[in-house]
Chain A
């Protein structure tokens, strides 16, 4: 197998404090992302299909 997909470890110390502070701040005052590369119509036009395999 190729490299395993690495899971996110438990944050501790300064990294944990910084992350939780930012998460709380974002929850209270969310910044709207300006980067939308797909419009809602384009997104909704993408349908998940299934291949038909021969027996």
Chain B
């Protein structure tokens, strides 16, 4: 639903980090939770070192066209079931029990309502992938992970951007979180392997 006459790309914009409580108060991306987060919580998350929020602003009109929040995370995989682990805990080296992969979590991502459908969201995801695979990145980061809203358009967006599901089905994800089988799953966890960007 891009209504602006000229297509805008994120590389035509200036990029800023949220440093003031007022930075994103006028940013509208059409989702109540996202609007509330960017307007009220992004700055608090930054102050508490829980997440850093960045945004792209047009150079001439100073309108925010997209914003995202990232935080350090990891994907841990336990290769020994809890029951067996409890019985044999001291006999299995930790490296064989659990694998841990560093990751960057996209905590929030929003595109301005009047720029939706213009490719901004995909460009932001691509920017994050490139950002965390460049040589100057200060720490290892193997995956990009996201807890995506469980709606067809959002899931299709991340699938199109080559993300895969951490759990193969909603049933498997529900079971992991101890949810009833009829309970609605609000989000799906997805990941992208950055090694595909470094080869």
A residues near B, CB below 8 A?
Answer: 1-3, 5-20, 22-23, 26-27, 30-33, 35-38, 40, 42-43, 45-51, 53
Contacts and interface: CB of A to CB of B under 8 A. Distances in A.
A17 B101 contact: no
Interface of B: 9-11, 13-17, 19-20, 23, 33, 36-37, 40-41, 44-45, 50-51, 54, 69, 71, 73-79, 81-82, 98-99, 101, 103, 105, 107-108, 119, 122-123, 125-127, 129-130, 142, 145, 147, 161-162, 166-168, 172, 176-177, 187, 189, 193, 195-199
Given A20-B99, A51-B23, A30 B199 contact: yes
B76 A2 contact: no
Contacts of A42: 9, 11
Given A23-B99, A26-B196, A40-B130, 12 more contacts: A5-B147, A6-B147, A6-B189, A8-B189, A10-B76, A15-B77, A18-B168, A30-B196, A37-B119, A37-B123, A51-B19, A53-B20
Contact of A23 (B69, B74, B101, B172): B101
Contact of B166 (A19, A31, A38, A50): A19
A46 B10 contact: yes
Contacts of A3: 33, 37
B197 A33 contact: yes
Nearest to B23: A51
A2 B196 contact: no
Contacts of B82: 12
B11 A38 contact: yes
B71 A9 contact: no
A15 B166 CA distance: 7
A6 B198 CA distance: 27
Given A16-B79, A18-B168, A30 B198 contact: yes
Contacts, number: 138
Contacts of A33: 129, 162, 196-197
> For the complex, would chain A's binding face be called helix, strand, loop or mixed by DSSP majority?
loop
A33 B77 CA distance: 24
A1 B194 CA distance: 31
A48 B168 contact: no
A49 to B, nearest CB: 5
A1 to B, nearest CB: 5
A49 B55 CA distance: 10
Contacts of A17: 77, 79
